Amino acid sequence: MYSVCAAINNIKVKEVPLNSDYQMDIQAIADAVDDYTKIIFICSLIIQPVTALPARILKSFSIILTVSW
- Predicted confidence at residue 52, as pLDDT, reads 64
Flag whether the pTM goes above 0.85.
Answer: no
Please give the chain's pLDDT, 69 residues, in tens: 788 888 999 989 999 998 888 777 888 888 898 888 888 887 766 555 555 667 777 777 776 666 555
Cα–Cα separations (whole angstroms), residue 7 to 1, 2, 12, 34, 46 = 10, 9, 7, 19, 24
